[in-house]
Structure 1
Amino acid sequence: MPKTRNQMQETCLKIQILSQEGYSCHQIARKCRCSPSAVGYTLQKYKRTNSLEDKPRSGRPRVSSARNDHILIHMCRENLPMTSQELQQQWSNQIGVQCSTRTVCGRLLDHGLRSYKAAKKPLINERQRLARRRWAQAHKNWTNWTARNWKKIWWSDESSFQLYPPPDNVRVHKRPGKALSPACTVPTVKHGRGSIMVWGCMSAAGHIPLCVSGQLYTY
Protein backbone atom coordinates (compact mmCIF):
# COMPACT_ATOMS: atom_id res chain seq x y z
CA MET A 1 0.00 0.00 0.00
CA PRO A 2 1.49 3.41 -0.94
CA LYS A 3 2.28 5.79 1.87
CA THR A 4 0.21 8.89 2.44
CA ARG A 5 1.65 12.39 2.59
CA ASN A 6 1.57 12.43 6.39
CA GLN A 7 3.33 9.05 6.60
CA MET A 8 6.07 10.26 4.26
CA GLN A 9 6.63 13.37 6.38
CA GLU A 10 6.80 11.25 9.53
CA THR A 11 9.38 8.98 7.86
CA CYS A 12 11.50 11.98 6.82
CA LEU A 13 11.39 13.36 10.35
CA LYS A 14 12.40 9.96 11.75
CA ILE A 15 15.33 9.79 9.29
CA GLN A 16 16.54 13.21 10.41
CA ILE A 17 16.34 12.28 14.11
CA LEU A 18 18.20 8.97 13.62
CA SER A 19 20.90 10.77 11.62
CA GLN A 20 21.44 13.23 14.46
CA GLU A 21 21.76 10.28 16.84
CA GLY A 22 24.69 8.95 14.77
CA TYR A 23 23.11 6.10 12.80
CA SER A 24 24.44 5.30 9.32
CA CYS A 25 22.34 5.42 6.15
CA HIS A 26 22.01 1.61 6.00
CA GLN A 27 20.99 1.41 9.68
CA ILE A 28 18.41 4.17 9.18
CA ALA A 29 17.10 2.44 6.05
CA ARG A 30 16.51 -0.79 7.98
CA LYS A 31 14.76 1.00 10.84
CA CYS A 32 12.56 3.09 8.54
CA ARG A 33 12.00 0.30 5.99
CA CYS A 34 13.15 2.33 3.03
CA SER A 35 16.11 2.30 0.64
CA PRO A 36 19.51 3.82 1.56
CA SER A 37 19.22 6.13 -1.46
CA ALA A 38 15.95 7.54 -0.05
CA VAL A 39 17.71 8.19 3.26
CA GLY A 40 20.58 9.95 1.50
CA TYR A 41 18.21 12.09 -0.59
CA THR A 42 16.26 13.12 2.51
CA LEU A 43 19.41 14.14 4.40
CA GLN A 44 20.77 16.09 1.41
CA LYS A 45 17.46 17.87 1.02
CA TYR A 46 17.51 18.89 4.69
CA LYS A 47 21.09 20.21 4.42
CA ARG A 48 20.18 22.17 1.28
CA THR A 49 16.85 23.69 2.38
CA ASN A 50 16.99 23.27 6.18
CA SER A 51 13.45 21.88 5.93
CA LEU A 52 11.71 18.57 5.30
CA GLU A 53 8.65 20.15 3.65
CA ASP A 54 8.12 19.86 -0.10
CA LYS A 55 8.38 23.02 -2.15
CA PRO A 56 5.09 24.37 -3.51
CA ARG A 57 4.46 23.28 -7.08
CA SER A 58 2.98 25.53 -9.71
CA GLY A 59 0.83 22.80 -11.24
CA ARG A 60 -0.96 22.96 -14.54
CA PRO A 61 -2.29 26.45 -15.36
CA ARG A 62 -6.05 26.91 -15.46
CA VAL A 63 -7.68 26.62 -18.85
CA SER A 64 -10.11 29.45 -18.15
CA SER A 65 -9.91 32.80 -16.43
CA ALA A 66 -12.27 34.15 -13.79
CA ARG A 67 -14.14 36.07 -16.50
CA ASN A 68 -14.57 32.90 -18.56
CA ASP A 69 -15.87 31.09 -15.49
CA HIS A 70 -18.42 33.88 -15.00
CA ILE A 71 -19.58 33.39 -18.60
CA LEU A 72 -20.09 29.66 -17.96
CA ILE A 73 -22.09 30.25 -14.78
CA HIS A 74 -24.27 32.81 -16.59
CA MET A 75 -24.90 30.33 -19.43
CA CYS A 76 -25.89 27.64 -16.95
CA ARG A 77 -28.29 29.88 -15.02
CA GLU A 78 -29.95 31.03 -18.24
CA ASN A 79 -30.75 27.42 -19.17
CA LEU A 80 -30.51 25.08 -16.17
CA PRO A 81 -31.53 21.87 -18.02
CA MET A 82 -28.48 22.11 -20.32
CA THR A 83 -26.21 19.08 -20.02
CA SER A 84 -22.49 19.27 -19.30
CA GLN A 85 -21.75 18.26 -22.90
CA GLU A 86 -23.93 21.07 -24.29
CA LEU A 87 -22.37 23.60 -21.91
CA GLN A 88 -18.89 22.41 -22.86
CA GLN A 89 -19.52 22.85 -26.59
CA GLN A 90 -21.16 26.27 -26.27
CA TRP A 91 -18.60 27.52 -23.75
CA SER A 92 -15.62 26.33 -25.81
CA ASN A 93 -17.00 28.02 -28.93
CA GLN A 94 -17.56 31.28 -27.07
CA ILE A 95 -14.23 31.59 -25.23
CA GLY A 96 -12.16 29.93 -27.96
CA VAL A 97 -10.49 27.41 -25.63
CA GLN A 98 -10.93 23.65 -25.82
CA CYS A 99 -11.81 22.02 -22.50
CA SER A 100 -13.40 18.80 -21.28
CA THR A 101 -16.78 18.18 -19.72
CA ARG A 102 -14.96 17.33 -16.50
CA THR A 103 -13.58 20.89 -16.44
CA VAL A 104 -17.10 22.25 -16.90
CA CYS A 105 -18.41 20.11 -14.03
CA GLY A 106 -15.55 21.29 -11.83
CA ARG A 107 -16.28 24.97 -12.52
CA LEU A 108 -19.97 24.46 -11.76
CA LEU A 109 -19.17 22.66 -8.51
CA ASP A 110 -16.88 25.52 -7.48
CA HIS A 111 -19.93 27.81 -7.66
CA GLY A 112 -22.26 25.41 -5.85
CA LEU A 113 -24.10 24.17 -8.95
CA ARG A 114 -24.65 20.41 -8.84
CA SER A 115 -26.49 18.16 -11.26
CA TYR A 116 -29.80 16.83 -9.96
CA LYS A 117 -32.74 15.02 -11.47
CA ALA A 118 -35.45 17.57 -12.24
CA ALA A 119 -38.59 17.36 -10.13
CA LYS A 120 -41.95 16.95 -11.87
CA LYS A 121 -44.69 19.42 -10.98
CA PRO A 122 -48.08 20.21 -12.56
CA LEU A 123 -48.04 22.96 -15.16
CA ILE A 124 -49.88 25.88 -13.50
CA ASN A 125 -49.93 29.60 -14.13
CA GLU A 126 -49.27 32.41 -11.67
CA ARG A 127 -52.96 32.85 -10.82
CA GLN A 128 -53.32 29.18 -9.89
CA ARG A 129 -50.11 29.29 -7.87
CA LEU A 130 -51.36 32.25 -5.81
CA ALA A 131 -54.74 30.56 -5.28
CA ARG A 132 -53.04 27.44 -3.93
CA ARG A 133 -50.95 29.55 -1.57
CA ARG A 134 -54.02 31.38 -0.23
CA TRP A 135 -55.79 28.06 0.31
CA ALA A 136 -52.80 26.63 2.21
CA GLN A 137 -52.54 29.73 4.43
CA ALA A 138 -56.28 29.61 5.18
CA HIS A 139 -56.05 25.98 6.32
CA LYS A 140 -52.70 26.07 8.14
CA ASN A 141 -54.39 25.43 11.52
CA TRP A 142 -55.37 21.87 10.61
CA THR A 143 -52.88 20.59 13.17
CA ASN A 144 -55.43 21.51 15.87
CA TRP A 145 -58.12 19.27 14.37
CA THR A 146 -59.35 16.20 16.24
CA ALA A 147 -59.97 12.73 14.83
CA ARG A 148 -63.68 13.59 14.63
CA ASN A 149 -62.93 16.51 12.34
CA TRP A 150 -60.76 14.40 10.05
CA LYS A 151 -63.49 11.76 9.70
CA LYS A 152 -65.59 14.36 7.89
CA ILE A 153 -63.00 14.77 5.15
CA TRP A 154 -63.03 12.94 1.83
CA TRP A 155 -59.72 12.68 -0.02
CA SER A 156 -59.89 12.51 -3.79
CA ASP A 157 -57.37 12.66 -6.58
CA GLU A 158 -57.09 11.92 -10.25
CA SER A 159 -54.28 10.80 -12.48
CA SER A 160 -53.77 10.06 -16.13
CA PHE A 161 -51.84 7.36 -17.92
CA GLN A 162 -50.25 8.81 -21.04
CA LEU A 163 -49.30 7.18 -24.30
CA TYR A 164 -46.32 9.54 -24.57
CA PRO A 165 -45.17 10.42 -21.04
CA PRO A 166 -42.66 13.24 -20.49
CA PRO A 167 -38.94 12.33 -20.42
CA ASP A 168 -37.79 10.88 -17.12
CA ASN A 169 -34.07 11.65 -17.40
CA VAL A 170 -34.05 15.46 -17.39
CA ARG A 171 -31.32 16.85 -15.14
CA VAL A 172 -30.65 20.43 -14.05
CA HIS A 173 -27.72 22.23 -12.45
CA LYS A 174 -28.87 23.95 -9.27
CA ARG A 175 -27.87 24.94 -5.79
CA PRO A 176 -29.21 23.11 -2.70
CA GLY A 177 -32.66 24.31 -1.64
CA LYS A 178 -33.81 25.19 -5.18
CA ALA A 179 -35.42 21.85 -6.06
CA LEU A 180 -38.92 23.30 -6.53
CA SER A 181 -37.88 26.45 -8.35
CA PRO A 182 -39.85 26.71 -11.64
CA ALA A 183 -36.60 26.73 -13.61
CA CYS A 184 -35.56 23.43 -11.98
CA THR A 185 -38.75 21.45 -12.58
CA VAL A 186 -40.32 19.64 -15.53
CA PRO A 187 -43.95 20.73 -16.07
CA THR A 188 -46.47 17.92 -16.43
CA VAL A 189 -49.92 18.04 -18.05
CA LYS A 190 -52.90 15.70 -18.04
CA HIS A 191 -52.44 14.72 -21.67
CA GLY A 192 -49.69 13.24 -23.79
CA ARG A 193 -51.23 12.94 -27.25
CA GLY A 194 -53.48 10.32 -25.70
CA SER A 195 -54.38 9.46 -22.09
CA ILE A 196 -56.92 7.70 -19.87
CA MET A 197 -58.10 9.43 -16.68
CA VAL A 198 -58.43 7.55 -13.36
CA TRP A 199 -60.24 9.04 -10.35
CA GLY A 200 -60.39 7.77 -6.78
CA CYS A 201 -61.70 8.82 -3.36
CA MET A 202 -61.24 7.67 0.25
CA SER A 203 -62.10 8.65 3.83
CA ALA A 204 -61.91 7.25 7.34
CA ALA A 205 -64.87 5.00 6.48
CA GLY A 206 -63.10 3.39 3.52
CA HIS A 207 -62.66 3.96 -0.19
CA ILE A 208 -64.79 3.72 -3.30
CA PRO A 209 -63.90 1.77 -6.45
CA LEU A 210 -61.68 3.52 -8.96
CA CYS A 211 -63.50 5.40 -11.69
CA VAL A 212 -61.78 4.80 -15.01
CA SER A 213 -62.86 6.82 -17.99
CA GLY A 214 -63.53 4.52 -20.92
CA GLN A 215 -62.85 7.31 -23.39
CA LEU A 216 -59.39 7.80 -24.83
CA TYR A 217 -58.60 11.50 -24.80
CA THR A 218 -56.45 12.50 -27.74
CA TYR A 219 -54.91 15.86 -28.56
Structure 2
Amino acid sequence: MGATRRHIDRTFNCSQTTISKLLIRYQQTGQTQDRPRSGRPRVTTPDEDHNIRQTHLRNRCVTATSTAATALGHVISRRTVLRRLYTAGTRAYRPFRGMALTRLHRQRRL
Protein backbone atom coordinates (compact mmCIF):
# COMPACT_ATOMS: atom_id res chain seq x y z
CA MET A 1 0.00 0.00 0.00
CA GLY A 2 3.03 2.26 0.19
CA ALA A 3 2.81 2.97 3.95
CA THR A 4 5.96 2.92 6.05
CA ARG A 5 6.52 0.26 8.68
CA ARG A 6 6.49 2.90 11.40
CA HIS A 7 3.06 4.11 10.25
CA ILE A 8 1.75 0.53 10.15
CA ASP A 9 3.01 -0.39 13.63
CA ARG A 10 1.45 2.77 15.09
CA THR A 11 -1.83 1.99 13.34
CA PHE A 12 -1.99 -1.58 14.71
CA ASN A 13 -0.27 -0.72 18.02
CA CYS A 14 2.45 -3.35 17.70
CA SER A 15 6.23 -3.36 17.40
CA GLN A 16 8.22 -2.76 14.23
CA THR A 17 9.71 -6.23 14.59
CA THR A 18 6.26 -7.79 14.28
CA ILE A 19 5.57 -5.89 11.08
CA SER A 20 9.00 -6.84 9.66
CA LYS A 21 8.47 -10.52 10.44
CA LEU A 22 4.99 -10.49 8.89
CA LEU A 23 6.38 -8.85 5.76
CA ILE A 24 9.15 -11.46 5.48
CA ARG A 25 6.63 -14.28 6.02
CA TYR A 26 4.37 -12.84 3.32
CA GLN A 27 7.29 -12.59 0.87
CA GLN A 28 8.37 -16.19 1.55
CA THR A 29 5.02 -17.99 1.69
CA GLY A 30 2.54 -15.59 0.09
CA GLN A 31 0.35 -15.53 3.20
CA THR A 32 0.49 -14.17 6.74
CA GLN A 33 -1.09 -17.09 8.60
CA ASP A 34 0.81 -18.81 11.39
CA ARG A 35 2.83 -21.82 10.46
CA PRO A 36 1.59 -25.18 11.75
CA ARG A 37 2.87 -26.07 15.21
CA SER A 38 3.39 -29.41 16.86
CA GLY A 39 1.05 -30.56 19.60
CA ARG A 40 -2.64 -30.41 20.09
CA PRO A 41 -4.13 -26.91 20.33
CA ARG A 42 -5.69 -25.92 23.65
CA VAL A 43 -9.47 -25.91 23.89
CA THR A 44 -9.59 -22.87 26.17
CA THR A 45 -7.76 -19.56 26.16
CA PRO A 46 -6.12 -18.10 29.29
CA ASP A 47 -9.07 -15.69 29.63
CA GLU A 48 -11.50 -18.61 29.53
CA ASP A 49 -9.40 -20.44 32.16
CA HIS A 50 -9.74 -17.37 34.39
CA ASN A 51 -13.48 -17.31 33.76
CA ILE A 52 -13.79 -20.99 34.74
CA ARG A 53 -11.95 -20.34 38.02
CA GLN A 54 -14.05 -17.25 38.84
CA THR A 55 -17.28 -19.14 38.11
CA HIS A 56 -16.19 -21.95 40.41
CA LEU A 57 -15.13 -19.60 43.23
CA ARG A 58 -18.49 -17.81 43.16
CA ASN A 59 -20.31 -21.07 43.90
CA ARG A 60 -18.09 -23.89 45.12
CA CYS A 61 -20.94 -26.39 45.38
CA VAL A 62 -21.39 -26.49 41.60
CA THR A 63 -20.03 -29.61 39.95
CA ALA A 64 -17.44 -29.57 37.17
CA THR A 65 -20.05 -30.93 34.74
CA SER A 66 -22.40 -28.00 35.27
CA THR A 67 -19.48 -25.55 35.19
CA ALA A 68 -18.46 -26.99 31.82
CA ALA A 69 -21.97 -26.49 30.52
CA THR A 70 -22.45 -22.91 31.74
CA ALA A 71 -19.04 -21.22 32.12
CA LEU A 72 -18.23 -20.64 28.44
CA GLY A 73 -20.10 -20.15 25.22
CA HIS A 74 -18.89 -23.47 23.79
CA VAL A 75 -18.88 -27.04 25.09
CA ILE A 76 -15.85 -28.32 27.00
CA SER A 77 -15.41 -31.54 28.91
CA ARG A 78 -15.64 -32.08 32.65
CA ARG A 79 -12.01 -33.21 32.73
CA THR A 80 -10.89 -29.97 31.09
CA VAL A 81 -12.63 -27.97 33.82
CA LEU A 82 -11.04 -30.12 36.52
CA ARG A 83 -7.57 -29.71 34.98
CA ARG A 84 -7.96 -25.94 34.70
CA LEU A 85 -9.12 -25.68 38.32
CA TYR A 86 -6.24 -27.89 39.49
CA THR A 87 -3.61 -25.81 37.69
CA ALA A 88 -5.18 -22.64 39.15
CA GLY A 89 -4.62 -24.03 42.65
CA THR A 90 -8.25 -24.86 43.40
CA ARG A 91 -8.20 -28.39 44.74
CA ALA A 92 -10.80 -30.54 46.46
CA TYR A 93 -10.19 -31.09 50.15
CA ARG A 94 -11.98 -33.51 52.44
CA PRO A 95 -13.52 -31.67 55.39
CA PHE A 96 -11.94 -32.47 58.75
CA ARG A 97 -14.53 -34.10 61.03
CA GLY A 98 -12.27 -34.66 64.02
CA MET A 99 -10.02 -37.40 65.27
CA ALA A 100 -11.28 -40.96 65.19
CA LEU A 101 -11.86 -42.06 68.78
CA THR A 102 -10.21 -45.25 69.92
CA ARG A 103 -11.52 -47.53 72.69
CA LEU A 104 -9.11 -45.87 75.15
CA HIS A 105 -10.44 -42.41 74.22
CA ARG A 106 -14.02 -43.52 74.82
CA GLN A 107 -13.14 -45.00 78.20
CA ARG A 108 -11.39 -41.81 79.29
CA ARG A 109 -14.35 -39.70 78.19
CA LEU A 110 -16.74 -41.80 80.25
- Shift in alpha-carbon separation, 1:119–1:77, aligned structure 2, 3 A: farther
Partner residue in 2 for 1:109: 86
In structure 2, give the amino acid aligned to 1:103: T
- Shift in alpha-carbon separation, 1:83–1:117, aligned structure 2, 3 A: farther
In structure 2, give the amino acid aligned to 1:82: V
1:119-158 matches, within 5 Å, as: 119=96
The answer as to 2:58 corresponding to 1:87 is no
Could you tell me how far apart the structure 2 residues matched to 1:62 and 1:116 are? 27
Q: CA deviation at 1:96?
A: 1.8
In structure 2, give the amino acid aligned to 1:86: S
**Greater share of residues in helix:** 2
Unmatched segments (≥5 aa) in structure 1: 1-56, 121-203, 208-219
Could you tell me how far apart the structure 1 residues matched to 2:58 and 2:96 are? 18
Partner deviation per Cα, 1:109-153 (whole Å, 9 max, x = no partner): 111111233456xxxxxxxxxxxxxxxxxxxxxxxxxxxxxxxxx
**Greater share of residues in strand:** 1
Partner residue in 1 for 2:76: 99
The structure showing larger relative contact order (alpha-carbon pairs under 8 Å, at least 6 residues apart) is 1
Unmatched segments (≥5 aa) in structure 2: 1-36, 98-107
Among 42, 53, 67, the alignment partner of 1:62 is 42
Please, what TM-score do these two structures have when normalized by structure 1?
Answer: 0.27
Could you tell me how far apart the structure 2 residues matched to 1:97 and 1:109 are? 21
**Superposition RMSD in Å:** 2.6
Report which of the two structures shows the higher radius of gyration computed on alpha carbons. 1
Q: Percent same amino acid at aligned positions?
A: 33
- Shift in alpha-carbon separation, 1:118–1:87, aligned structure 2, 3 A: farther
